[in-house]
Amino acid sequence: AQKVTQAQTEISVVEKEDVTLDCVYETRDTTYYLFWYKQPPSGELVFLIRRNSFDEQNEISGRYSWNFQKSTSSFNFTITASQVVDSAVYFCALSEVYSGGGADGLTFGKGTHLIIQP
Amino acid sequence: KAGVTQTPRYLIKTRGQQVTLSCSPISGHRSVSWYQQTPGQGLQFLFEYFSETQRNKGNFPGRFSGRQFSNSRSEMNVSTLELGDSALYLCASSLSGQGAGTEAFFGQGTRLTVV
């Protein structure tokens, strides 16, 4: 069975600090997708990034970067020079892909509540 | 481009009643998935519809059902409501569905309170 663990329930940092959100996953499949979503107080989940299991390249998008390591089953997310607007709940998610091409829905971690203080 | 629209945004129902929630996906998207979010269980997958067919189902009782129409709009129904059904129900729309690993766009959700 698939599982996503976000051990950090809440992180509080001062603006401009760098912060890393951890995500560890479990899956028996060799083909899967990993995602990060942001949930602001408005409630909707905002897509941040998708990675497939065959692509271990790290990615940087502005102040955001992601470190995918299959050897440790981790997909960590770093925000550089954090800003107050980054305050939200962040979710890591996993989707396994069947051999026939279908997939279960997203399995989410419990989320990390990130608080950026001014 | 209009986003995912969920109606209503808030709902209060009495235990034992039934409720129907609606989701209009992004134009052109054929896959609609539903998720339940509670403080205790977090985000849990309910089911996915693709081209009017239920493609996948999560581990929820039969009281939770859904359907998708030819225009890809989807409804979710919960019968015989229980207090534990109080949650934020999120709908996600995507082009090809979860199997293709495509990006899912979420609506703002329907906050259901069962009293």
Task: Concatenate the DSSP letters of all residues of A47-85 into one string.
Answer: EEEEEETT----EEETTEEEEEEGGGTEEEEEESS--GG
Q: Please say if the pLDDT value at position A6 is more than 90.
A: yes
Burial A30-68 (b: 16+ CB within 10 A, else e): ebbbbbbbbbeeebbbebbbbbebeeeeeeeeeebbbbb
pLDDT at B35 exceeding the cut of 60: yes
Would you state the pLDDT for residue B55?
A: 86
pLDDT, mean over chain B: 93
Measured over the CA atoms of residue A105, residue A89, residue A79 and residue A18, the dihedral's sign is negative
Task: Give the per-residue SS3 of B25-81.
Answer: CCCCCCEEEEEEEECCCEEEEEEEEECCEEEEECCCCCCEEEEECCCCCEEEEECCC
Q: What percent of chain A has pLDDT over 70?
A: 94
B47 close contact with A: CB closer than 8 A: yes
Residue of A nearest to B34 (CA): A105
Task: Return the higher-pLDDT residue of B20 and A57.
Answer: B20
CA dist list (Å): A22 to A63, A76, B7, B24, B82: 17, 5, 34, 33, 35
Identify all chain B residues contacting A42, using CB atoms and an 8 Å cutoff: 108
Interchain CB contact of B90 with A (< 8 Å)? yes
Written as one letter, the residue type at A79 is I
pLDDT at A106 (0 to 100): 87
Residue A48 has pLDDT above 80, yes or no: yes
For chain A, the average pLDDT equals 91
Chain B contact set for A33 (CB, 8 A): 101
Cβ neighbourhood burial of B47 (10 Å; 0-12, 13-18, 19+): buried
Q: Is residue A110 helix, strand or coil?
A: coil
Q: Is residue B101 pLDDT above 80, yes or no? A: no
pLDDT at A28: 86
Q: Does A94 touch chain B (CB under 8 A)?
A: no
Residue range B3-10: mean pLDDT, rounded:
96
User: Could you tell me if B105 and B26 are in contact, meaning their C-beta atoms sit under 8 angstroms apart?
Assistant: yes
User: Rounded to the nearest 5 degrees, what angle is found at the Cα of A27, between the Cα atoms of A46 and A23?
Assistant: 45
